[in-house]
Amino acid sequence: MSDFNEPTNTSLYSGIWATVRGLVASCVKLDPSSDTNLPTGAMRLESTFRGFQRWSGSAWVDYLPGTENWTPSYGAAGSMTYTSVTTDYAKYFKFGKWIIFRIKATGTTGGTASNYVTFSLPTAPATAAIAQFSAMIFDTSLSGDVSLGHAFNLTGSTVGVFNFNNSNWGLGTGRSIYVSGLYEVSA
């Protein structure tokens, strides 16, 4: 525990270096939360949510948030369905007007085969034309392996995930999508 008002010109010489080492240690650890007399604007890495916080003078305030989870909805093109979907992860990080996200989900395609499945983003992009993302697909009807695909914003917050050659998805269980990307939001 360090006091950011120390050392002063009246501090004992014998304790100055211990005080300075304590202050440096607090800064290096990025966790001055147990210290006293913090300067306004001090930063810490808050490990619970893995993000940065800034000291307002009276409380810690989120500065750069960590990753957040979201619950996407799923669907498919035409009369194809994408159901019984298990979301292994759906995480995003918002930095100003930008969102970086990753999603991995596995479900069952049914109905009449079509060329894409869909999922919803955490927030709609500001401009759909620039919302294009990297995708990998595991569709046993293609090759039984993970293959490259592509994904882009269709409307609002709905993203279509396509096979590498825009062919129809196969029908059945174990159809996985792995998508990551960066896009701009309005606010």
pTM of the model: 0.65
Q: Are the beta carbons of 106 and 85 closer than 8 angstroms?
A: yes
Whether residue 99 sits in one domain with residue 39:
no
- In the block, which residue shows the tokens 């940065």? 52
Residue 30 and residue 90: Cα distance in Å, rounded? 28
Low-confidence stretches of the chain (pLDDT < 70) are: 1, 3-7, 13, 23, 25-29, 33, 47-50, 64-66, 128-131, 138-146, 187
pLDDT the model gives residue 28:
59
Whether residue 106 sits in one domain with residue 31:
no
Q: What is the pLDDT of residues 84-102, one digit of tens each?
A: 999 999 999 887 788 889 9
- The residue segments making up the domain with residue 110 are 68-184
Final residue in a domain of this structure, among 21, 49, 64: 64
pLDDT the model gives residue 93:
87
Q: Are the beta carbons of 79 and 168 closer than 8 angstroms?
A: no
- Tell me if 3 is assigned to some domain: no
Domain tally, the chain:
2
- Tell me if 2 is assigned to some domain: no
pLDDT the model gives residue 122:
92
pLDDT the model gives residue 128:
60
Whether residue 110 sits in one domain with residue 84:
yes
pLDDT the model gives residue 81:
97
Residue 136 and residue 154: Cα distance in Å, rounded? 18
pLDDT the model gives residue 49:
61
